[in-house]
Amino acid sequence: MYKQSTIAITTFNLAFSLTLTLATTAAGATKLNAAPLPHERESKDFNTKEGQFIINQPSRFQRRPDFRELEAQQKKESEEAAKRAEQSKLQAIQDHKHAQDEAIDNYKKRQDLAIAANNKAVACGKQGRWLDALSAHEQAVQLDPQSKQFRINLSAARVEYGKAKLAGGDLTAAAGLFRKALAAAPDNGLAGKLLAQAMGKQGRDPMSADIRLATADQLAAVGDYEGASVEYEAAMQLESSARTYTKMGDLALRFGQHSTAINWYRQAIVKDTDYGPAHRQLGLLALNQKDYTGAAASLRKAVILDSHDTAAGQALVEIWRKQVSTNPLLAENHLGLAGALQLTGDFIGADSEYRRLEALDPKNPGLASGRQSLARAIQHDKAEKHRLAAETLFNQGLRREALAEISQSVMMEPRNARYQFLLAECLEANGDYQGAHQAYLTCVLIDPENNQEAAARMKEMQNSSHRTPTAPVAPTAAPRSLQPPVTAGMQNTFNAAAAPNLSMSKKDMFEAAPVAQTAPTSQVNQPATAAQTGLAAQAMRGNQVVATNQPAASQAQQIPTSANGARQASAGRTATTGNTATNAAPQLEPALQEADARVKEAEAERDFPRAIEILKQLLVTYTQNSNIHHRLAVNLLNSGDINEAVAEFRIASALNPKKKEFADDLAQALLIHKRALMSEAGSQISGENAGATK
């Protein structure tokens, strides 16, 4: 109990002491004089002098202005902007007025200078100092290009100077001055008249559009675009055609007037939709403007119309090459490139692109048609080569050779009117007037609108009376390609109306040059030999002349039989008219007579290799002679060369498909060839079986 009382007293004493200590400490604490912490509004520091305030730091939480403050601010800004705009407007008005005043002053000064230059030019012209006068007139026009009077004065001065040059015999300088006079004043009629006179003295027809265009091209080539424009305008007045419009477009393009040039090219296409140069120029302009679709379409049209347009072809190929390089896995790009290469004549490249197309898309709908088109293009290219050769040979007087070449072209493209027309000319030149008449008719039937010349030639042949034969000609069964040439006195027209009973075999278009010739009088009543063999007999059948009261004679030609059992084919034909006929044998060319004799001799001696060599040499000159091919085939068959014999039989049958003997001999040769192949195959099988038995 005592111990608990002692602990309570001790605890009380400690608490009392602690309380007393705290009170004493609070009473003796020091007063704080530091500035208060910052806050949003202003506060007065009582330790500072009166009237001084401490501005507290702004808070990061800004107070938003109300709408009245915003409206006031906007109003102030708009007023300031309006004030500045008004000041700028006033300044611009002042600057414009100052510029106008300055321009007026400059114009007046230039006018004064131009008038002075014009007066000086007139004075120099009166003194005959034309060079100084022209220089001063040109200066006046440059100072005042809007003055029409100054241009008239310049044109007149050039005309006067041109007169002096014309009187002095300097035609080139005179013509150039007259053109410049027209360029300065297009309505200067005197300049145009004098220009025509100067061109006439130069030997150039001023009324020919071709001459004016050629002159304009020459002037443009040397950089005289002013004179070129005058000539192009004159050509367009003489001939408002697609080519003159295209030339005007080219001239505008030289001056950088692209829109004007495009308008000229489009007008040219309206004049003639098939004028290639206009399409080409439109394509090149579209290419410069990055219009690849339009450029490809125009360039393709240009190349189709003119396959020799190198610029259009190269540009078209380049477009598609870029497309292929951009996306080489797109089949349509390869198809387009193949078509472009085909149009430009690169058939190997086109075939390569078709192969790539097939690898990418074997079922592409354009693949089959594209390859068919490529095959036709290759064939047409070959036909064109034969046509060019025919034209060259015809111009050199080699008419038979020309006929052989154009026959190849017609064989490849029988519906080509151009080939038919050239074939008709060659046939007519070689004396086959009925064949020529038929070829002209075919030409007209293919394209009636563009073959008026062929129709006129047909009419001329029908109306002419110089080809009336003295006696009817018997029908012929063999080609007439080995007949002698037309004599100098032979007429070159055929009168169908004057000889209604004339019966002639129709000339096949693929045969070589036939020649219609009447047999000599001394041979009319002579009987034919019992059997005529070889080339002479075959060539003479086309020239049989009828004579009365003579028995008919037969001709026979025997085809030698080969060791393999080739049949004997009779080539005899009887020419009859009514109940009587006589075979006349006109003379062959000496070279053919000699060759025929040599072939007969070789065949009689059974020296077939020598006969084959002679016949092959003849084919170099007479390539289209079906009889020589047939004779060669027989000798090849006799020599045992069946493969080459079949080929020659095919050629003979193709050159003369209407001759039944050729077709029969071809069939017999094919049968022999087949039997030979079967015999060789059987021997080979027997040998293999025998080897297996062993």
Chunked mean pLDDT (size 10), the chain, 694 residues: 65 70 58 61 54 57 78 90 91 89 85 87 87 88 87 90 89 90 89 90 90 90 89 89 91 89 93 92 92 92 90 93 92 92 91 91 90 91 92 90 91 90 90 88 85 85 55 33 32 30 30 34 32 33 32 32 34 34 47 81 86 83 81 86 82 81 85 68 44 38
Instruction: Give CA–CA dist 187/181, Å, rounded.
Output: 10
Q: Which pLDDT score is estimated for 52?
A: 54
Contact of 284 with 246, CB cutoff 8 Å: no
Q: Which pLDDT score is estimated for 283?
A: 93
Which tokens hold the place of 646?
Answer: 């079949």
Is 237 in a helix, a strand, or coil? Answer: helix
Amino acid letter, 407: S
Q: Which pLDDT score is estimated for 54?
A: 55
Which tokens hold the place of 330?
Answer: 């797109």
Which tokens hold the place of 239?
Answer: 């001939």
Q: In DSSP terms, which residues pair with 545 in a beta bridge? A: 473
Percentage helix, strand, coil for the chain under 3-state DSSP, each rounded to 5: 65, 0, 35
> Looking only at Cα atoms, what is the longest distance across the chain?
198
Q: Which pLDDT score is estimated for 589?
A: 66
Q: Which pLDDT score is estimated for 593?
A: 77
Three-point CA angle 372, 377, 382, nearest 5°: 130
Instruction: Give CA–CA dist 626/658, Å, rounded.
Output: 11
Instruction: Give CA–CA dist 633/668, Å, rounded.
Output: 12
Instruction: Give CA–CA dist 160/351, Å, rounded.
Output: 66
Tokens 């062993």 found at = 694
The residues spanned by each domain of the chain are: 113-305
Q: How many helices (H) does the chain have, and how many strands (E)? A: 26, 0
> Among residues 184, 185, 211, which one has the least CA distance to residue 196?
211
How far apart, in Å, are the Cα atoms of 681 and each of 125, 640, 642, 644, 673? 105, 18, 16, 20, 12
Report the top-level CATH class of 113-305.
mainly alpha
Three-point CA angle 684, 686, 688, nearest 5°: 70
Three-point CA angle 273, 277, 283, nearest 5°: 90
How far apart, in Å, are the Cα atoms of 126 and each of 119, 131, 202, 345, 647? 11, 12, 30, 65, 90
> Among residues 377, 446, 364, 449, which one has the least CA distance to residue 412?
377
Three-point CA angle 510, 645, 382, nearest 5°: 40
> Among residues 581, 525, 578, 579, which one has the least CA distance to residue 553?
581
Q: Which pLDDT score is estimated for 325?
A: 92
Instruction: Give CA–CA dist 496/489, Å, rounded.
Output: 20
